[in-house]
Amino acid sequence: MQILKSKKKIAVVALSGGLDSCVTAAIANEDYELALLHANYNQLTEKKELESFNRIAEYYNVKHKLVVDLSHIAAIGGSSLTDKSIPVKKADLHSKEIPNSYVPFRNANILSVCTGWAEVLNASAIFIGAVFEDSSGYPDCRPEFFKAFQQVIKLGTKPDFNADIITPVINLSKAEIVKKGIELNAPLKFTWSCYTNEDEACGVCDSCALRLRGFQIAGVEDPIAYKIKPNYSGY
């Protein structure tokens, strides 16, 4: 008797190329066929991020791959990640303020692109690696934001289409994300998180600090190169 292998459902995964989105792709890969989407918005480290995206896509041998140009996000500005006249601040892991690296409404822009693509691919899910608990406090990383966007998808697409927004790492700490990535053999060595550098990670921006603290608390060596590697585990 021939056993027919059921065709896997498709998930669109927003993959910046950083740690969180790579582990998110690894989680999606357990149950779905991956459709990987990368947004270029003229961020400072876009070249390196795109390289990470392509390596991760190659690692998972994906058929559906889409790189989109959202450079209007940089034209609109208002963030240190897209406007060179605003310096990227050194990390302050105790601050309650929204840091200047916040990119206005970035996740809604990215989710809108994901949804349009999901509708055309007839995908069942949209994965996004937003982190809320152990993060910089961006408003578009809140669970309530994604819940509200789910409603927009339900109402703004064809009646016979729906895709669940899945945020599998939203409430994990960075250390838990690192451990999850290792458990699933995610290619963490290809990921890039630094906001400012493309050769060696700076080690001192918000994103480096959160990442390094995660690896340090998890007791795992971060496989990428750093210019300096402060110990953040006590912060």
Residues that bind its own copies (CB under 8 A): 66, 68-73, 75-78, 98, 102-109, 111-113, 115-117, 119-120, 139-140, 142, 144-145, 148-149, 151-159
Q: Could you tell me the smallest distance in angstroms from the CB atom of residue 86 to its own copies?
A: 12
- Residue nearer to its own copies on the CB measure, 10 or 204: 10
Q: Rounded to an integer, what distance in angstroms lies between the CA atom of residue 202 and that of residue 192?
A: 11
H helix and E strand count, the chain: 7, 5
Estimate the crossing angle of helix 143-156 against helix 106-121, to 10 degrees: 40
- Residue nearer to its own copies on the CB measure, 35 or 91: 35
Q: Could you tell me the smallest distance in angstroms from the CB atom of residue 105 to its own copies?
A: 4
Q: Rounded to an integer, what distance in angstroms lies between the CA atom of residue 169 and that of residue 186?
A: 14
- Residue nearer to its own copies on the CB measure, 40 or 191: 40
Q: Could you tell me the smallest distance in angstroms from the CB atom of residue 148 to its own copies?
A: 4
Contacts of 93 (CB under 8 A, 6+ apart): 209, 210, 213, 232, 235
- Residue nearer to its own copies on the CB measure, 156 or 223: 156
Q: Rounded to an integer, what distance in angstroms lies between the CA atom of residue 107 and that of residue 104?
A: 9
Q: Could you tell me the smallest distance in angstroms from the CB atom of residue 103 to its own copies?
A: 8
Q: Could you tell me the smallest distance in angstroms from the CB atom of residue 197 to its own copies?
A: 26
Q: Residue 59 is encoded by which pair of tokens?
A: 């690692």
- Residue nearer to its own copies on the CB measure, 84 or 189: 84
